[in-house]
Each structure stands twice: as structure tokens, then as C-alpha cells.
């Protein structure tokens, strides 16, 4: 399993890629029903088997390995639910975290045909994001920009629109991959239906963004691959995730 050459081109060009229909209609329905029935607090990866499966969903494994390397680990995960008028973060991110330099595991590198990233996000959409609905937005290509500090504050707060800020249209079941080195944020939600997104965030095996590591005792049964992906960061003698992936 590997990314296609065209997908590599798109990730390198834009810093994000929309992966269509990663989840089947049945998988989306199962996740939505569980959310309707359960509480919505904490890490989705702890909300039961359908959510645990998303840690290493077979359709995202090629992207995880190709973009974060053979020892990829889950760093943290959370859900975003928004109703019309709800607001979240302005545009942020950028190489080394952008001008604030407060989020320094945000990086994108290319060398000798290989792409590598620091913290990256795979967002599972459980509800559509149509044109103008809001939600995830980004500045395509900004993961390579040297001037993210020049983005006007009004644009970062969405008070002024710009054609270089894009809200990707996507359907329930799609996944949006983006590197946190990309300038991105959340446009206020502007649709009648609820925004439902599950954000699973990964780091290379040697690094961490989050200060709280996973407690695998909380997860019940795990596959060996999932167990390795939930390990705290390390370099020495770290077991490979790739060797367990066909
Ligand atoms: O999906 C979104 O609304 C953006 C999430 C975000 O800002 C982040 O992952 O840092």
C-alpha cells in the first residue's frame, strides 16, 4: 500500500489532501449512531470499537506511513461538533508554528523522493461540509511559505475574506489530511446541520506534541499495530508500525 504519485504531488503542492469516501455509508452511520447515543467528551478513540478502528483504518495506513514514516504514532485525538454560529480558532499554524513559535513540531520536509511531517491530522467527516458551510479552512501551499507572519489579523479572524483562504467541500465519509505546518483554522459554522468531525492527530514515532500520552490499559483489546501506534514517543528500539502493514 502506498500513496499514488498524483497524491504525493497534491500533498507536496497544497499541504493537504481530500480523501474521498474513506468510510462507507455503513461506517458513517455506525459512528453517528454511537455519538447520538453516547457522551461526547474526551478522546473519540476511547468511545468504542468503531472509533478505535479509526486509529489505523486500513484506508489511511498508506498515508500515515508515507507521510509520517514507519514508526508513526497517534499523538492525540478529539472531536469537533459545531452548530450554526459556533466559532472556533482563527487561522494558525505554519512551518515551526508560524510567527508565535509556540507549536514547534509543525514542519514539512521533502528529501530524495520522501515526504516527512511533524504533527499531522486526519479528519474524519461524519457530516457534509458544503460550499459556505464553514468548518475546516486552510491556505493551500502555506506549509512552504516564508511569510505566514504577513497574513493580516483580520484575515486570520475571518473578518475579511481572501481568495487564498479555502474551505474544502467534503462529504460525510471523506477524510481531510493536513500537515499542521499548513496555515489552517475553523471558519464559523454556517449550516443548519451539525458539523461532526473526528480529528486523529499523528506524529513521527520519535516526537510528541501533546504532553499526555495514551494509557493503553484504557483501550481493552488492541491489535499489535494499534498498541505500537499508541506508545509514547521514543527512538531507540521502537517497534515498527510498517512491518505490521502489508
Ligand atoms: O478542522 C478544523 O476545524 C481545524 C482544526 C484545527 O485548527 C487544528 O487541528 O489545529
| Domains, the chain | 5-244 (2.60.120.620)
Q: Is the CB of 189 under 6 A from ligand 1?
A: no
Choosing from 123, 156, 165, 195 the residue with most ligand 1 atoms within 8 A of its CB, the one to mutate for a pocket test is 123
CA–CA separation, 137 and 116 (whole Å)? 22
Report the Cα–Cα distance between both ends of the chain, in Å, rounded: 7
With a 6 A CB cut-off, is 80 part of the ligand 1 pocket? Answer: yes
Q: What is the number of other CB atoms lying within 10 angstroms of the CB of residue 125?
A: 24
> Tens of pLDDT along 106-157?
999 999 999 999 999 999 999 999 999 999 999 999 999 999 989 999 999 9
- As separate numbers, helices (DSSP H) first and strands (DSSP E) second, the chain gives 6, 9
Return the pLDDT at 2: 85
Q: Is 184 in the pocket of ligand 1 (CB under 6 A)?
A: yes
Q: Among the atoms of ligand 1, which is closest to the Cα of residue 93?
A: 10
Amino acid at each position: 500500500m502506498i500513496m499514488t504519485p498524483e497524491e504525493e504531488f497534491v500533498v507536496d503542492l497544497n499541504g493537504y489532501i481530500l480523501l474521498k469516501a474513506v468510510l462507507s455509508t455503513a461506517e458513517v452511520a455506525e459512528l453517528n449512531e454511537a455519538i447520538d447515543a453516547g457522551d461526547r467528551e474526551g478522546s473519540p478513540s476511547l468511545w468504542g470499537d468503531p472509533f478505535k478502528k479509526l486509529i489505523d483504518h486500513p484506508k489511511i495506513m498508506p498515508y500515515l506511513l508515507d507521510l509520517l514514516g514507519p514508526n508513526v504514532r497517534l499523538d492525540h485525538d478529539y472531536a469537533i461538533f459545531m452548530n450554526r454560529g459556533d466559532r472556533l480558532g482563527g487561522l494558525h499554524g505554519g512551518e515551526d508554528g508560524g510567527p508565535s513559535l509556540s507549536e514547534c513540531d509543525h514542519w514539512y520536509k521533502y528529501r530524495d523522493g520522501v515526504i516527512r511531517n511533524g504533527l499531522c491530522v486526519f479528519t474524519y467527516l461524519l457530516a457534509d461540509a458544503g460550499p459556505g458551510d464553514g468548518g475546516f479552512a486552510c491556505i493551500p501551499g502555506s506549509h512552504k511559505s516564508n511569510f505566514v507572519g504577513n497574513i493580516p489579523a483580520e484575515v486570520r479572524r475571518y473578518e475579511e475574506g481572501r481568495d487564498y483562504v479555502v474551505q474544502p467541500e467534503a462529504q460525510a465519509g471523506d477524510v481531510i489530511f493536513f500537515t499542521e505546518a499548513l496555515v489552517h483554522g475553523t471558519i464559523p459554522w454556517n449550516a443548519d446541520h451539525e458539523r461532526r468531525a473526528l480529528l486523529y492527530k499523528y506524529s513521527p514515532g520519535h516526537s510528541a506534541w501533546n504532553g499526555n500520552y495514551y494509557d493503553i490499559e484504557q483501550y481493552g483489546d488492541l491489535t499489535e499495530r494499534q498498541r505500537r501506534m499508541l506508545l509514547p514517543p521514543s527512538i531507540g528500539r521502537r517497534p515498527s508500525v510498517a512491518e505490521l502493514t502489508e
